């Protein structure tokens, strides 16, 4: 039995909890509590746990006694012992009301083929479970999970090196940092080629992140631990004072959350030059300022289309980015690759230079959106879809690349467009290899996702306007949020 089979078996256990009214995301969180204990048992690491709360303490109890013991276990592990354990079980509560359901889950987990799971890697098993959760539209977890092929391609191209400090300021389940760790390990014989001090740095200091949502932070902590990464994962908000001291990184890889600050609240950090309620624009400011100004520090960040064309503060931030950094490449991503998200996205690749002026001369743009299939469950995104982009990106002479999707724009070209980076999309129908109509189910699900996102954003706009004195509200104040709503609902570029 491989990890995929085990993931499916674990996922099927969710059906046991339907009568308890537990959501998919609650189930994965609940499963994390139990799986952690089992995995410590399987890897002979139970010494970090109090003896009374190890795996066998669950196996030997039944009925109400099991449920009471389990709930006390959650409470005590969140308040005592190892710091990692405390963070995984912090404020942990059980949503399982029926003792028989809890017993069923524990028994089923105990009977899985753990020998095969360990052979393939417990970290990969857990990450497979997180991906399964993200692929379920009903779970609403897609916002926390960037597709694995996209993470792997971005990581390969940014190419983290031994000794470099890597960070994800919107860590989610820590997927980018795990990919960066895997990338360095694969190039250093699992760190055995490195000096002992450097290998120790890689395991304990090289990879870090910040995550705002408590349950997602819990998943990130366990994901990192199972991949033998001991880096700091802060439970906090990068766009608050928590992020002020996050500086001097060599590599930043991230996919910040979409939308505006909740309730229209203003940014609480005072060290960013340009003020906006658009979270992605604030994250972008944080990212290029958090890189070392040494000409080598680099970042890749996933951002929605509105960041490329939003006026006002958006244009100023893009101008500042292109001054301080060499924004050398933009990848226009296809639609449908983010579960339950209707927002069109891009990847910006840039390097922080030694000076703060005129560092971007040319921006190369690869259009992986036009005449591409609409990705989803029935048309999964794979590494092969990025082959042509990787070839163009890594070419010794980009001017010699013969690919109609690959175009270059000078800084002057961009300046004439008001510093809009909404560029590079093509309209050549001859490229299309997908003449059939899109899957009607995928289309309906995408339309529903767009409407749900638009309604959420409209609610945030209303809250923001109410929070500001009516005499101070102007069209310029509301434009960023309205632009996001327009983009999400399909009114592309219509301000």
DSSP codes of every residue in 29-78: HHHHHHHHHHHHHHTT-GGGS-GGGSHHHHHT--HHHHHHHHHHHHHHHT
From the number of C-beta atoms within 10 Å of its C-beta (0-12, 13-18, 19+), residue 106 rates as buried
| pLDDT above 90: residue 14 | no
The better pLDDT of the pair 409, 450 is held by 409
Q: How far apart are CA 417 and CA 423, in angstroms?
A: 9
Segment 189-206 mean pLDDT: 96
Query: What is residue 24's predicted lDDT score, i.e. its pLDDT?
Result: 72
Name the pLDDT band for 437 (thresholds 50, 70, 90): very low
pLDDT score for 265: 47
* The pLDDT of residue 64 is above 90: yes
Cβ contact 126:7 at 8 Å: no
Does pLDDT of 433 surpass 70? no
Higher pLDDT, 5 or 135: 5
Count of CA atoms in the C-beta half-sphere (13 A) of 101: 19
- The residue ranking higher by pLDDT, 462 or 290, is 290
Q: 209 pLDDT band (50/70/90 cuts)?
A: very high
What whole-number distance in Å separates Cα of residue 281 and Cα of residue 312? 11
**Could you give the percent of the chain with pLDDT greater than 70?**
80
Task: Decide which of 443 and 403 is more confident.
Answer: 403
How does residue 84 score in pLDDT terms, banded at 50, 70 and 90? Answer: confident
Give just the sign of the alpha carbon dihedral 191, 196, 197, 203: positive
Residue 45 pLDDT class (50, 70, 90 cuts): confident
Q: How far is CA 180 from CA 151, 291, 390, 482, in A?
A: 9, 17, 17, 36
Instruction: Find, among 351, 140, 130, the residue nearest to 220 by Cα.
Output: 130
- 284-288, 435-439, 462-466, range with greatest mean pLDDT: 284-288
Q: Considering only residues 394 and 116, tell me which one the structure prediction assigns the higher pLDDT.
A: 394
Range with lowest mean pLDDT among 106-110, 298-302, 315-319: 106-110
Contact present, 234 and 210 (Cβ < 8 Å) = yes
Residue-level pLDDT at 431: 56
- Cα→Cα distances 287→256, 280, 282, Å: 10, 10, 9
Which of 45-59, 100-114, 256-270 is predicted least confidently?
256-270
DSSP state of 189: T
Tell me: pLDDT of 53 over 90.
yes
Q: Are the beta carbons of 123 and 9 closer than 8 angstroms?
A: no
Q: What is the pLDDT of residue 469?
A: 56
CA dist 152 and 386 (Å) reads: 10
> How many beta carbons lie within 10 A of that of residue 390, not counting itself?
14
Alpha-carbon distance 308 to 303, whole Å? 8
Average pLDDT of the chain, as a whole number: 84
Q: What is the mean pLDDT of residues 58-80?
A: 94
Q: Give all strands of the β-sheet with 325-332 in edge-to-edge order.
A: 233-235, 207-211, 166-168, 251-254, 298-304, 345-352, 325-332, 362-367, 406-410
The answer, yes or no, to whether residue 1 has pLDDT greater than 70, is no
Closest CA to 319 of 284, 345, 290, 347: 284
pLDDT, position 76:
94
Read off the pLDDT band of 269 (50, 70, 90).
confident
């Amino acid at each position: 039995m491989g990890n995929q089979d085990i993931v499916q078996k674990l996922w099927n256990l969710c059906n046991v909890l339907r009568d308890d009214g537990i959501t998919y995301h609650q189930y994965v969180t609940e499963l994390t509590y139990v799986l952690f204990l089992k995995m410590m048992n399987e890897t002979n690491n139970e010494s970090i746990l109090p003896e009374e709360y190890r795996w066998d303490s669950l196996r030997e109890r039944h009925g109400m006694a099991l449920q009471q013991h389990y709930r006390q276990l959650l409470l005590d592990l969140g308040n005592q012992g190892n710091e990692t354990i405390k963070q995984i079980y912090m404020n942990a509560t059980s949503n399982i009301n029926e003792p028989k359901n809890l017993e069923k889950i524990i028994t089923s987990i105990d009977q899985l083929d753990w020998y095969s799971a360990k052979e393939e890697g417990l970290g990969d098993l857990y990450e497979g479970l997180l991906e399964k959760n993200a692929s379920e539209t009903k779970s609403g977890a897609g916002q926390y999970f960037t597709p694995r092929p996209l993470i792997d391609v971005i990581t390969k191209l940014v190419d983290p090196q031994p000794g470099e400090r890597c960070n994800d300021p919107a860590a989610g389940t820590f997927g980018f940092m795990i990919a960066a760790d895997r990338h360095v390990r694969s190039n250093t014989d699992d760190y055995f080629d490195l000096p002992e001090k450097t290998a120790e740095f890689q395991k304990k200091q090289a990879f870090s992140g910040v995550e705002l949502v408590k349950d997602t932070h819990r998943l990130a902590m366990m994901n990192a631990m199972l991949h033998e990464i001991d880096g700091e994962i802060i439970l906090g908000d990068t766009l608050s004072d928590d992020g002020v001291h996050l500086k001097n990184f060599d590599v930043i890889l991230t996919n910040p959350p979409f939308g505006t600050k909740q309730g229209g609240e203003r940014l609480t950090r005072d060290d960013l030059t340009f003020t906006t309620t658009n979270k992605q624009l604030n994250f972008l400011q944080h990212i290029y300022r958090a890189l070392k100004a040494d000409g080598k520090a680099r970042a890749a960040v996933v951002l929605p289309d509105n960041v490329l064309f939003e006026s006002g503060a958006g244009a100023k931030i893009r101008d500042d980015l292109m001054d301080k950094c060499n924004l050398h490449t933009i990848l226009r991503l296809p639609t449908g690759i983010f579960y339950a998200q209707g927002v069109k996205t891009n990847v910006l690749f840039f390097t922080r230079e030694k000076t703060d002026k005129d560092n971007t001369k040319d921006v190369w743009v690869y259009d992986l959106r036009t005449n591409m299939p609409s990705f989803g469950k029935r048309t999964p995104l794979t590494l092969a879809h990025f082959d042509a982009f990787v070839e163009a990106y890594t070419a010794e002479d980009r001017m010699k690349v013969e690919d109609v999707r690959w175009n270059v724009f000078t800084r002057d070209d961009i300046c004439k467009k008001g510093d809009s980076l909404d560029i590079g999309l093509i309209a050549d129908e001859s490229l299309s290899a997908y003449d059939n109509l899109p899957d009607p189910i995928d289309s309906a699900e995408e339309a529903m996702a767009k409407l749900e996102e638009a309604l959420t954003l409209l609610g945030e706009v209303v809250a923001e306007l109410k929070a500001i004195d009516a005499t101070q509200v102007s069209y310029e104040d509301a434009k960023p949020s309205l632009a996001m709503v327009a983009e999400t609902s399909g009114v592309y570029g219509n301000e």
